Amino acid sequence: MSEAQMAETNPGAADKRREFGGRRAFGWRTVFYGFVRSRRHTLRRGKDSDAIFLDWHHPWLFFLAVGTMLLSATDAFLTLELLSRGMTEINPFMASVMERSTFAFAATKLGLTGIGILMLVFLAKARFLDRVRAGLFLTAFFSAYACLVCYEIVNLLRTM
């Protein structure tokens, strides 16, 4: 029986099928399926080379984004520990936030870092000043945070 014949015999059947949403329903399966089998890994045409937004990002960007967030959280913890041992915060903006509360400090630090990472991942294929891909900035920030955490660990060991 064709769909048109079904609609004639049962006029509300098509509407009931649309109510459930079927394959268009959004859920965790959709997110997982879109992550694993995203469609646009490369550009469609040669003239699309100016397009910078794709459905798929390289796994290295995921590593850098998660790693930078983890290093930022470690930096926040080590900063608070060092401040409790007599060190001072040299960043004037973060020092003013820290005067309110340590929770505000941690939330501001992680929030600003997270927003920056999201923007850099979103614009990873864009070129800054028509020369450097924005994704390389994420690598630079990851490296800078790694050096900062190492510096803080050395200072923490010195104060023990």
Domain count, the chain: 2
44 within domain boundaries: no
Through-space distance between the first and last CA atoms of the chain, rounded to whole angstroms: 81
- Domain boundaries, position 8: 1-37
pLDDT along the chain (160 residues), means of 10: 57 54 60 60 54 63 91 94 89 89 91 90 74 82 94 92
Residues 28 and 3 reside in one and the same domain: yes
Residues 28 and 75 reside in one and the same domain: no
The confidence score (pLDDT) of residue 62 equals: 85
The confidence score (pLDDT) of residue 31 equals: 60
Residues 6+ apart with CB under 8 A from 65: 117, 120, 121, 138
